[in-house]
Structure formats: C-alpha cells, structure tokens
Amino acid sequence: MVENLVRRYGALAAVDGVSFAVSPGTIFGLLGRNGAGKTTTLECCIGIGTPTSGTIRVLGLDPTRPRDLAALRPKIGVQLQATSLPEKAAVREVLELYAAYYGIPARAEEMAARVGLDDKLDRQIAQMSGGEQQRLALALALQHDPDVLFLDEPTAGMDAFGRRILWAEVERLRDRGKTIVLTTHYIEEAERLSDRVCIIQRGKIVAEASPAELVAEHGGDASVTIGANGFAPGASLERLGRWTKTGEQWKLATHGEPGLALAAVVTEANAIGAKITSLDLHRPTLEDAFVAITGETLGEHE
Amino acid sequence: MKLLRMFLVQTRMNFVWYFRRDGEMVFWTLAMPVFFLVLFSFAFSSGPNSGSSKFLVPGIIGAQVLSSGFWGVGVMLATFREKHLLRRVYVTPMPPWVFFASLIVYRMLLLAAQAVILVSVGALLFHVRIVGNPLEILAVLLLGTATFGSLGTIIGALARTTESANNVASILTVPLAFLSDAYIPIDRFPHAVSATLRLLPSTQFIETFRDVSVYGAPLAGYGVWLVALALWAVAGAAISARTFRWV
C-alpha cells in the first residue's frame, strides 16, 4: 500500500503524490513511459529510495524504517532494471550465492529450469544475452519463495521466447497466491498480466482500474470496417452506431458488441447483393485507453 | 550458521569472480611488488646483503597493505555501486558487514600470498631473514589490513563515481608510500619532518611491521601505535557505516 508518495530530486518531483493499494494474490502493473516515476515508486517500496514524504506499507511493514526493512527483505523478491550481476559469475554460482544470502538450500537446477536456463547453468553472465540475464534475475528474485515480488521492467529488451516464459511464470506465481508489483512500458504486458493497472504520467497517477475497465471506460468505440461494392448502411444498420465513409470503405463505430454488429453488417451486405472485398473488426485495446487518458503514445520503439 | 555460510560463499565467490575477471591483473598484483623489490634493492645499494632489501621487503608489503585498502576495498566498492551490484545485494537479507568483511578478508588472503612471495624472493635473492615471532607478525599484518581496509570503505562511501574513487586512491596511495617509510627511510628527512610523518597511521603500521618482522622487536613495545591503528579502524568503520550509500 502506498499513500501520497512524493520523491523529489531537488526541485524536480519524480513521484508527485502517488497512492495505490495492491490486493494480496494479484498482479499490479505500473504502466507509463520511461521517466514517468514507475521505478522511483517501486524503489521506495523496497527501501532503495527514501520518500520525500508519504507513507508506504509492504506486508504491514514500513520500508523506510531500518528495523521493518530488515524484517521485510526475506519476504520480498526483487528484479531490478539495470544489469546488476557480476559479469564473470556463472548462473549456478549466482543462484548458490543468493541462496546463501537467504539462508535456504540452493536450488540452482530447479530455478534455472523454471526460467528456461537449465542448459546454461555454467554460462557466465557476460556471455548471456540481455534477455537471459533478465530471466536469471527473475530466478534470483524467486528462489527464496517470497510473498511479494517487485519486478522493474522485467521484460525490457527480452525476445518473444523470454517474454512468454516470464509471463507464464508470473501468472503461475499469482495463481499460487503471491502478490506481484511490476512496472512496464509495454502495453501488451500490462494488459496481459495485470489484474489492476495504474497509469502513471509525470509522477502522478492518471488512472487506476482493471485493464478491461480502463478499455471500457476510455478505449472508445469498437469499430467494424467494410469494403463492398454497392454497399450502403440501411436503416437497421444506422441504429447500430455512427457510420463514416472513407473512399470505398464504410466504418461503423459502435458502443455495442462489435461481433454482433459485424454479423448484422455482413447479413445486410449479402441481402442487397453487395460483394464484400474487405472486412475488419477493431476492439478498443489498452493502448487506445492509454492514448485517450494520457494524450501520449508509449513510444515503445524509441 | 546462516551468517557463516553467507560469509564463506561470498568470500569464495569474490575469489572465483575476481580471478576470472582479471587473472592478468592478479598476476601483476603479485609480480609488481617483486619487481619493485628487485629494482630498488639494486638501485639503492651496491649489491645484495647491504641492508636495503631488509628495509624494502617489509616496506613493500606494507605499501601493498595500503593500496589494497584504498584500491582493493575503496575503489572496488565505488565500482560495485556504479555497476548497480550494491543496490541488488542491498535488497537481500545479507547484513552489510558480511559484504564488507568478506571483501576485506579476500584482500587479506591476497596480501598473504603477496607477502609469502616477497619474503621468499627476499630470502632467496637478498638473504633477508624473517626473525620475529610469526604470531606477532601476523597480528600486525591483520591489524594493518583491517585498518586500511576500513579506511578504504570511507573512499567507497564518499566517492560518487569509480573515477573519483580512483583519483582519491591515487592521491593517497602514491605519496603515502613514499612518506611512510615504505620505499625510502624517512630518517633521511630532518627530524621535525620524520617525527611528523610518524603521526601517520601508514608510517606507524609500516615501521611496526618492519621492526617486528625483520628486526625481531617485541610487539609489546608498540602498544600506543597499535591502539592508534585500531582506533583508525574503528573510526573508518563508523564513518562509512554512517555515510555509505548503496545506490
């Protein structure tokens, strides 16, 4: 739980009055562009950053108090953004070292297998791809079976394979009752994983809800686009929503279920004998909602 | 038990990773002091057995203790911070002292290897004999390593970047090596100067170490200096405990 968190660097407020609560056993996504304040917020939750003001409780403990932080550390798992492992260390060695940090038996083989690195146990960090390093970082965050996981941009720079492994693992953990807080600037990741998404922009929370709620509320209309010779929407179709024509294409923007609208449009086109040349259905996504809410795109390819 | 295992695994990893990373550098760490010993022994004397080697063997070992603390501990910590290694271990339950102690113990073992090599070369080439009580010699070495390792952590605590830590370490190490009776006898300076230099912990450590090891002086005669060194060690640990930044 975070309440009214503020973190200033000089005059700049990196985090400016952020509040949210995470339900146990759920995945909570902090979504925003680079520099929006996601990482700073997360770092304050794990005791790396010191809030300028505000209150934080993780498992009832206050990470700004040394005593609480010491009690908290064994219960949380952390995956940080920047490469933070010794470059000449082998996968097995790092897992053994971190097992010693937590006072648990090393489970190097098992952990490596869980993140798809079982054939790379003796590989050194420096010889691994960024995605492989990220997966090892996840294994290190998980090995001591923490109650709460903090993942900072866990799939940044990962290939599709690594991303699938990580997503599956995160969902499996949630299904086992773990709580996961993750930051991401990938819409797809936030939409796929999060039970609740918090959109953060310039240090402030601008929206917080489940991905489905955000899309329903801010994603705008679904649409059906049809290209067909001699087609024009009749009276029955007019009722479905707002029609616009661009070139030979008719586009219907609708509040209703776009699948049913699509069926109606096709039925009508067939009834009047119009030959369909193209047909598209677009449901609003979290990306549409994000753009509507923030007035910005995420610029994933910057 | 948990802490002991943490400490042992961390120390073992320090060795494995450091040797793997710069095996070449470890070679030079071990070879350079020997090179200095041979070079200075011939440069400062007309030949073997003239006494300067007897001065240099403990002096060079002492200078290595200094640079081990300033570079091996201080600059290393700054590098770890810059590479974001520190913030990662900070979020684990490992107590900070385990991390620092394993780094200092690792440097102690490396220094032990350096000392053995220097003493052997000194004995073989220049007939330098270690005559002191081995336990007392070891005690002085351990105290010195702890003191300068502890002072090194201050560099690691206060330097913002690896580069600035490097600069601070060079500014300290090089002059101190020459002003602390390591390479050049400070008795060649006017009395007022040498007396002042004997207030430095580096001079106190190197002279104690030399007198005890190659001259066989009893350690009991150096009580004040030993207490002073221990106080520096405590002060260093206290300062860095207050000022150390993990991120």
Query: CA–CA separation, B74 vs B171, rounded Å?
Result: 13
Q: Are strands A249-254 and A242-246 parallel, antiparallel or unpaired?
A: antiparallel
Query: For the segment A188-240, what is each residue's pLDDT rounded down to a tens digit?
Result: 888 888 999 988 888 878 888 888 787 777 777 788 888 877 777 777 777 77
The answer to whether A49 contacts chain B (CB < 8 Å) is yes
Query: CA–CA separation, A148 vs A145, rounded Å?
Result: 9
Task: Among A73, A74, A83, select the one facing B84 at the smallest CB separation.
Answer: A83
Number of neighbouring beta carbons within 10 Å of residue A44: 24
Chain B positions touching A97 (Cβ under 8 A) are 9-10, 13
Distance of CA A282 to the CA centre of its chain: 22
Q: What is the pLDDT of residue A258?
A: 79
Calculate mean pLDDT across residues B30-48.
76
Query: CA–CA separation, B181 vs B175, rounded Å?
Result: 11
Calculate mean pLDDT across residues B146-172.
92
Distance of CA B154 to the CA centre of its chain: 15
Per the model's pLDDT, the better-predicted residue between B173 and A302 turns out to be B173
Is a pLDDT exceeding 70 seen at residue A2?
no
Which of the residues A88, A95, A143 would you substitute to probe the B interface, choosing the one with the greatest number of B C-beta atoms within 10 Å? A88
CATH for A221-283? Answer: 3.30.70
Helices (H), B180-222: 191-197, 201-213
Residues with Cβ within 8 Å of residue A46, at least 6 apart in sequence: A58, A63, A76, A78, A150, B91
Cβ contact, residue pair A97, B9, below 8 Å: yes
Query: Could you say which DSSP state residue B202 is in?
Result: H
Q: What is the pLDDT of residue A7?
A: 66
Cβ contact, residue pair B91, A86, below 8 Å: no
The pTM score is 0.83
Which of the residues B89, B92, B94, B106 would you substitute to probe the A interface, choosing the one with the greatest number of A C-beta atoms within 10 Å? B92
Q: What is the pLDDT of residue B8?
A: 92
Q: Residue A253 is inside which H or E element, if any?
A: strand A249-254
Residue A201, classed as helix, strand or coil, is strand
Closest CA to A148 of A180, A183, A111: A180
**What does the longest C-alpha to C-alpha distance in chain A come to?**
76
Q: What is the gyration radius of the CA atoms in chain A, in angstroms?
A: 24
Q: What is the pLDDT of residue B46?
A: 54
Q: What is the pLDDT of residue A12?
A: 66
Q: What is the pLDDT of residue A69?
A: 92
User: Which strands form A204-209's sheet, in the order they lie side by side?
Assistant: A76-79, A148-152, A179-184, A27-31, A196-201, A204-209
Calculate mean pLDDT across residues B178-193.
88
Burial of A273 from C-beta contacts in 10 A (0-12 / 13-18 / 19+): exposed
> Whole-number mean pLDDT of chain B?
88
Cβ contact, residue pair B90, A124, below 8 Å: no
Residue A222, classed as helix, strand or coil, is strand
Query: CA–CA separation, A184 vs A221, rounded Å?
Result: 26
Residue of A nearest to B20 (CA): A88
Chain A positions touching B25 (Cβ under 8 A) are none
Chain A positions touching B6 (Cβ under 8 A) are 100-101, 103
Q: What is the pLDDT of residue A302?
A: 40
Calculate mean pLDDT across residues A152-158.
86
| Cα–Cα distances in angstroms (integers) from residue A177 to residues A36, A170, A193, A282, in the given order | 29, 11, 15, 34
E strand spans, B30-173 = none
Cβ contact, residue pair A100, B5, below 8 Å: yes
> Whole-number mean pLDDT of chain A?
84
The answer to whether A74 contacts chain B (CB < 8 Å) is yes
Alpha carbon of B10: minimum distance to chain A alpha carbons (Å): 7
Class of domain A2-216: alpha beta
Instruction: Tell me what ipTM this predicted complex has.
Output: 0.81
Query: CA–CA separation, A251 vs A280, rounded Å?
Result: 9
Is a pLDDT exceeding 70 seen at residue A11?
no
In chain A, which residues fall in CATH 3.30.70?
A: 221-283
Long-range contacts of A162-168 (CB under 8 A, 24+ apart): A162/A116, A162/A131, A162/A132, A162/A134, A162/A135, A163/A189, A165/A115, A165/A116, A165/A135, A166/A115, A166/A134, A166/A135, A166/A138, A167/A192, A167/A193
Q: What is the pLDDT of residue B223?
A: 92
Q: What is the pLDDT of residue B96?
A: 85
Residue B167 binned pLDDT confidence (cut-offs 50, 70, 90): very high
In chain A, which residues fall in CATH 3.40.50.300?
A: 2-216
Q: Which of residues 189-248 of A touch B (CB under 8 A)?
A: none
Q: Residue B104 is inside which H or E element, if any?
A: helix B96-126
